[in-house]
């Protein structure tokens, strides 16, 4: 086993264990922090795949913004959200079964791929993935349209948020 494989296995174990803990732990704030751990594991996966930019953006956006807002919302609730009673829904096995089925289907599909089991080719020297990504996002024959549509959508959300927050001054 190479060092890369060991790191991958450790990181995969981290993701799976933390993802399980997110849905099984009874303290809401612990669930949010386990989510942070799972997201961090995904960032490590990106690093292993030599996608440094994605890894850093994963940490900035998902941990730095989204997870912190989750935790912030949970913090406002203090201890009342601690779940002590018995489970009210007894059909938890249905989504579990569904999840396992999806997992089996995904594994089946991936094994069928011709690239399965091959080691990734090393990144050629001197390729600046960040620059390529940046150019692709603004070049007309690549992703400029979805990129601009997304920015307009975000702008609309921003304007809406400002309107809601400012209150109806009549």
Partner 1 sequence: MMFLNDPINFIAGWMRDLLTGWGLSNGLTTVIIYFIGITVLIVFAMVLDILLVWVERKVVARFQDRIGPNRIGPFGLIQPFADIIKLIIKEDITPAGADKLLFNLGPVLAIASVIILWAILPLSSKIFGVDLNVAVLYLVAAGALGTLSIIVGGWASNNKYALLGAFRMVANMISYEIPMVVVLLIPTILADSMSVQKITQAQSGIWFAILSPLALIIFLISAIAELGRSPFDLNEAESEIVAGFHIEYSGMKFGLFYAGELLHAFTFGGFMAVLFFGGYGGFFGLEKIGFFSWLNNPFVQAVVFLAKAMFGYWVIMWIKYSMPRIRIDHMLAFNWKFLTPLALVVLVNTAVLSKVLAGLPNWGYVLGMFFSNIVIGFITVEILRAYGRKQRKAEAKLSPQSAQNQEQAA
Tell me which residues touch partner 1 (CB under 8 A).
2-3, 27, 29-30, 33, 36, 52-53, 56-57, 59-60, 63-65, 67-68, 71-72, 75, 128-130
Q: Which of 68, 106 has the CB closer to partner 1?
A: 68
Q: How far is the CB of 3 from partner 1 (least distance, A)?
A: 6
Contact 143, 132 (CB under 8 A): no
Tokens 């390729």 belong to residue: 127
Q: Which of 2, 113 has the CB closer to partner 1?
A: 2
- Residue 151 and residue 75: Cα distance in Å, rounded? 31
- Residue 157 and residue 154: Cα distance in Å, rounded? 5
Give the helix ranges, DSSP H, for 25-118.
Answer: 28-48, 52-57, 68-75, 93-112
Q: Which of 30, 143 has the CB closer to partner 1?
A: 30
Q: Which of 57, 142 has the CB closer to partner 1?
A: 57
Contact 136, 128 (CB under 8 A): no
Neighbours of 18 (CB within 10 A): 20
Q: How far is the CB of 68 from partner 1 (least distance, A)?
A: 6
Q: How far is the CB of 19 from partner 1 (least distance, A)?
A: 18
Q: How far is the CB of 17 from partner 1 (least distance, A)?
A: 15
């Amino acid at each position: 086993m190479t060092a890369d494989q060991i790191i991958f296995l450790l990181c995969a174990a981290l993701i799976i264990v933390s993802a399980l803990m997110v849905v099984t732990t009874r303290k809401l704030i612990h669930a949010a922090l386990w989510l942070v751990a799972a997201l961090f594991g995904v960032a490590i996966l990106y690093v292993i795949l030599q996608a440094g930019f994605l890894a850093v953006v994963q940490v900035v956006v998902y941990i730095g913004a989204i997870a912190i807002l989750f935790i912030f919302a949970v913090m406002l609730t203090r201890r009342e959200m601690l779940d002590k009673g018995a489970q009210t829904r007894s059909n938890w096995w249905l989504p579990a079964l569904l999840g396992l089925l999806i997992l089996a289907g995904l594994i089946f599909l991936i094994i069928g791929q011709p690239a399965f089991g091959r080691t990734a080719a090393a990144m050629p020297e001197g390729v600046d993935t960040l620059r390529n990504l940046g150019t692709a996002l603004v070049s007309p024959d690549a992703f400029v349209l979805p990129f601009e549509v997304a920015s307009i959508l975000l702008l609309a959300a921003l304007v809406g948020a400002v309107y809601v927050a400012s209150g109806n001054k009549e």
